[in-house]
Amino acid sequence: MALPVVFEERIAANGARIGIARLNAEKALNALSLEMIDLLAGRLAAWATDPGVALVVLEGAGEKAFSAGADLHKVHEAMLAHHASAQRDDIRGNAYAAGFFGREYRLDYTIHTYPKPLLCWGHGIVMGGGVGLMSGASHRVVTHESRVAMPEITIGLYPDVGGSWLLGRMPGATGLFLALTGARLHASDVLFVKLADYCIDHARKYAVFDALLTQSWTRATDDNRRLLSAALRTFAETDLPHGPLRLHFDLINKLCGTGELTDVVAAITGLKTEDAWLARAAATLAAGSPSTAALSYELQRRAKYMSLADVFRMEFVAALHCARRPDFAEGIRALLIDKDQKPRWQPPTLAQVTPEWTEGFFTSPWKARVHPLADLGA
């Protein structure tokens, strides 16, 4: 049986080695499982301390996706079991969710702080957990076929994997808009919001990888970062046409600057437009979880001046509360299990989401020093 992550090493002309990690669940659009997370974490740790490895490449198997996000079926099973248990009111009672989110966030933080150049080839679908893997890489490539999004509002979660930190640092109000609408970005818009660094024709991927084998890699990280940047620039496309996010930038800022969250949501969902991208964004928000909208808004507000490590700690608590409450399980049911596309959100409207309900997502059962992610950034 094939491993869910395949690792290989290629030897450059000067003897330096390039580590390649390939997500290998093509039929599932390389959705992240806990086994994949653990395999990646272990190998990245080994390569980080191996002086013979000059850089690491992260890619997805197949032509459809780098990664469509987390494998949610087992997460759903664990939530249902927890909801039916005597520990249903304790977020610590869902051991699988705690293990999944905790190890996923550790992996994402490792990539953000990796001591060697790390190239992510973000071709095809890059969503949710896939964004978490790609966003922290030192060198991030998208292609013309890339479709990048954080569509968690459709499943009752929120843009996690550091999304509160990433989205809040995007130009203008684009991060809030993307969190509320789950809108998909094409290559030029991914570059605009700085989730990627280069757009390269996917047909040139193997030429890029061959070029990496000819570089004069050293054992100095800064030198190797510069070498990788220079190599990618020779293949990168420039002067890409503006995507819909950039084209509608002024309108998005206006829609998201109308006052409180209820006003923002009303402005977006009430938009009269013939633009298909905007119309889909508005429809997604209208059908999405009201709790997710409120939580995403509050997370970005709180994350604005926080370190990335502190954001991951905050998101970990919020994710376990999502797993304890009804919307996350209901969203997965409607989208992936029964596929009826008719989630029954609780509360059903944004007007019914009280400040106390939202504040509850941030209540932690752990003191800071014993938080499961307390050592991040230490």
How would residue 378 be classed by pLDDT, with cut points 50, 70 and 90?
confident
Q: Is the pLDDT of residue 22 over 90?
A: yes
Residue 270, C-beta contacts closer than 8 angstroms, at least 6 positions apart: none
Structural tokens at position 310: 């502190």
Whole-angstrom Cα distance, residue 156 to residue 345?
A: 8
Q: What is the pLDDT of residue 2?
A: 85
Structural tokens at position 48: 């980080």
Residue 63, C-beta contacts closer than 8 angstroms, at least 6 positions apart: 123, 124, 145, 202
Q: What is the pLDDT of residue 1?
A: 73
Q: What is the pLDDT of residue 258?
A: 79
Q: Is the pLDDT of residue 236 over 80?
A: yes
pLDDT of 271-299, one tens digit each? 999 999 999 999 999 999 999 999 999 99
Q: What is the pLDDT of residue 259?
A: 84
Whole-angstrom Cα distance, residue 75 to residue 89?
A: 17
CA angle at 288 for the pair 286 and 289, rounded to the nearest 5°: 125
pLDDT of 155-176, one tens digit each? 999 999 999 999 999 999 999 9
Average pLDDT over residues 230-247: 97
Average pLDDT over residues 257-268: 94
CATH tag for 5-370 (out of 3.40.50.720, 3.90.226.10, 3.40.50.10860, 3.40.50.1000): 3.90.226.10
Q: Is the pLDDT of residue 81 over 90?
A: yes
Distances (CA, A) of 86 to 96, 310, 321, 327: 16, 31, 16, 20
Name the residue among 140, 138, 92 with its Cα closest to residue 115: 138
